[in-house]
Amino acid sequence: MSWIIGFFRSAMGKKAVMAVTGVMLFGFVLTHMVGNLKLYFGPEKINAYAEGLREIGAPLLSHGDALLIARLGLIAAVVLHIWAATSLTLVNRRARAQGYARKSPQAATYASRTMRYGGLIILAFVVYHLMHFTWGNVHGDFVPGDVYHNVVSGFQNPLISGFYILAQLALGLHLYHGLWSFMQTLGLNGPRLNALRQPFAATFTAIVVIGNISLPLSVLAGFVTLHG
Ligand code: HEM
């Protein structure tokens, strides 16, 4: 038992928690983006998809159970990801306070600061996003169960679309650096793999960011309308 506690207390253990929860969250963001693209296939498809998510596991599980389990897993991943990030930051700060201040590499410090602020921006975005599309309490024209209507009418407001686009850019920076560090944590840093790290991180980041940003842009351009 004590070795488990020791592992989670060590920098190595915290990095492992960051990596595992980061992969879970990345998996969610990627599949969520793919699901969001159903908007292009009209109201029936995306609304049936949203309803279908609540039916996963039937008849073994009741309506919404699998979604509830996924939500609990997602919340646990977010909490652990933030815990590991915060405690690693504190460990680094303490180490620097003991005399490494001048030697701290500027690039690494800049990247970690960007990750911290970027993470906070993403967290704020997710809270707003849940109030907007899941609970509907900040949406002027929310129709429960009509995901297509809620997304299209929401994005018809240029200010809201602009906010979503900015948030996706913050998410992109975070994903890019996160995917890059993930490979470092796994020790994938031989000369050949080093050359692959940047294109790998950039490709996956671009897929998520371009897929998501295309939605508000398509609504604003009138390519996707309330009538499907
Ligand atoms: C343009 C981009 C996005 C669109 C159009 C979009 C759309 C939606 C919609 C319509 C819902 C409600 C689904 C339902 O009630 O069945 C939802 C839920 C959610 N979205 Fe997004 N989303 C986007 C980006 C993101 C991003 C970048 C994140 C995370 C960083 C995110 C996290 C979530 C979460 C956590 C939920 C709640 C899932 C649940 O428990 O039901 N979304 N999104």
In this prediction, residue 50 carries a pLDDT of: 95
Count, residues in the chain: 228
Give the CA dihedral 34, 35, 36, 37, nearest 10 degrees. Answer: 60
227 falls within a domain: no
CA distance 71 to 115: 24
- Work out the number of other CB atoms within 10 angstroms of the CB of residue 56: 15
Among 21-35, 87-101, 172-186, top mean pLDDT goes to 21-35
The yes-or-no verdict on residue 189 having pLDDT over 90 is no
Q: How many domains does the chain have?
A: 1
Centre of ligand 1 to C-alpha 170, Å, is 16
> Residues with Cβ < 8 Å from 95, sequence gap 6 or more?
none
Lowest mean pLDDT among 2-6, 48-52, 160-164, 218-222: 2-6
182 falls within a domain: yes
Q: What is the CATH number of the domain that holds 139?
A: 1.20.1300.10
Burial of 155 (0-12, 13-18, 19+ CB in 10 A): buried
Centre of ligand 1 to C-alpha 172, Å, is 16
116: domain range? 2-220
pLDDT per residue over 131-181, tens digit each? 999 999 999 999 999 999 999 999 999 999 999 999 999 999 999 999 988
226 falls within a domain: no
Nearest CA to ligand 1 atom 15: 134
Residue 217 φ then ψ, to 5°: -65, -40
206 falls within a domain: yes
Under a CB-based contact definition with an 8 Å cutoff, are residues 208 and 30 in contact?
Answer: yes
225 falls within a domain: no
Instruction: Verify whether ligand 1 is closer than 6 Å to residue 152 (CB atom).
Output: no
pTM: 0.92
46 falls within a domain: yes
The yes-or-no verdict on residue 98 having pLDDT over 70 is no
30 falls within a domain: yes
69 falls within a domain: yes
